[in-house]
């Protein structure tokens, strides 16, 4: 299947839908949120009833994106005929579905993703690991079907791309990424506004939280990895912590442990050919070759011990 054929299949499936529920992975990032919001508007423009459902979602860090207040945060997903799961390699990563996977009640499940090791859990699976981000993927879909996005959608998708490419610094960036980004700027996205909203809008507590995480930084020179951790009641500064850790010259693999109420979210980053997506699979996770994650049950201390032992074995 060519990209255009895949897009046409997606378009045809969505054309027959009437009530579409959009879901993304737990602890959604800017790529997931921006892409899903842009897609929600597209579906509504096609005359569909479209609901973006994110259980327990807080819009605090996303309030510069149009329509973020429309996100439904109820414990259970709304009813619909079509479920569109975006930016999620497995349905078990959707908040509330960690044990059940896709709930019953949807006649069609569409799995639209760009991560490695996708479970292919949909009736229609639209997966391209060559895409830098869901933001880029959605842009090329819009272009393929001749849809003219507005300035709000351009901002949503540009923010998604900027976030998932580390401001165009990661290995997932291609010429197509820059072409899509340029088109989004032409459509109304403002790079300075997006950059400031994502990277220059920290609170005092977040800065202090970052200092706490960096104060716990541990470097294991024998194996070339670094790690730190955040406790459940501390500010959510995971991405900022990872960016600082990435700047360490000697670091090859970065690991951040973020304590949650019922377990630990573990984020992996690689600056070499070490495939952290494959490594994360043993903990039920996945993602990209150089950026992945997993959710592991247990205390922060026990999870750190378990994961680092496995990492050292893999790096030997």
User: Which pLDDT band, with edges at 50, 70 and 90, does 2 fall under?
Assistant: low
What average pLDDT does the segment 240-245 reach?
93
User: Which pLDDT band, with edges at 50, 70 and 90, does 158 fall under?
Assistant: very high
Give the residue carrying structure tokens 């496995």. 310
> What pLDDT is attached to residue 223?
94
Q: Which has more confidence, 236 or 155?
A: 155
| Residue 142, pLDDT above cutoff 80 | yes
What average pLDDT does the segment 178-202 reach?
96
What average pLDDT does the segment 5-17 reach?
96
Cβ(137)–Cβ(144) below 8 Å: no
Which residues, at least 6 apart from 310, have a Cβ–Cβ distance to it below 8 Å? Answer: 279, 282, 283
What average pLDDT does the segment 163-178 reach?
94
Distance CA 223, CA 205 (A): 33
What does the block give as tokens for 226?
A: 């670094």
User: Which pLDDT band, with edges at 50, 70 and 90, does 189 fall under?
Assistant: very high
């Amino acid at each position: 299947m060519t990209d255009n054929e895949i897009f046409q299949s997606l378009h045809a499936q969505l054309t027959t839908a009437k009530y579409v529920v959009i879901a993304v992975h737990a602890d959604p990032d800017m790529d997931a949120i921006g892409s899903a919001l842009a897609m929600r508007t597209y579906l509504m423009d096609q005359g569909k009833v479209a609901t973006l459902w994110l259980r327990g979602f807080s819009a605090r860090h996303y309030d510069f994106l149009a329509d973020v207040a429309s996100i439904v945060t109820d414990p259970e997903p709304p009813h619909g005929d079509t479920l569109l799961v975006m930016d999620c390699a497995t349905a078990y990563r959707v908040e509330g579905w960690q044990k059940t996977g896709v709930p019953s009640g949807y006649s069609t499940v569409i799995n639209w993703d760009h991560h490695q090791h996708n479970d292919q859990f949909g009736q229609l699976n639209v997966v391209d690991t060559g895409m830098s981000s869901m933001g880029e993927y959605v842009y090329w879909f819009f272009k393929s079907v001749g849809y003219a996005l507005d300035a709000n959608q351009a901002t949503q998708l540009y923010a998604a791309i900027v976030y998932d490419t580390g401001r165009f610094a990661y290995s997932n960036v291609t010429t197509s990424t820059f072409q899509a980004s340029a088109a989004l700027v032409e459509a109304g996205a403002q790079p300075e506004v997006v950059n400031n909203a994502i990277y220059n809008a920290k609170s005092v507590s977040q800065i202090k939280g970052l200092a706490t995480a960096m104060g716990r930084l541990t470097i294991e020179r024998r194996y070339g990895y670094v790690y730190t951790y955040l406790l459940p009641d501390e500010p959510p500064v995971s991405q900022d912590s990872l960016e600082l850790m990435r700047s360490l010259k000697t670091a090859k693999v970065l690991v951040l442990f973020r304590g949650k109420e019922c377990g630990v979210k573990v984020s992996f980053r690689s600056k070499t050919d070490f495939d952290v997506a494959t490594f994360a699979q043993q903990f039920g996770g996945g993602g990209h070759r150089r950026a992945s994650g997993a959710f592991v049950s247990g205390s922060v201390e026990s999870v750190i011990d378990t994961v680092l032992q496995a990492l050292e074995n893999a790096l030997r």
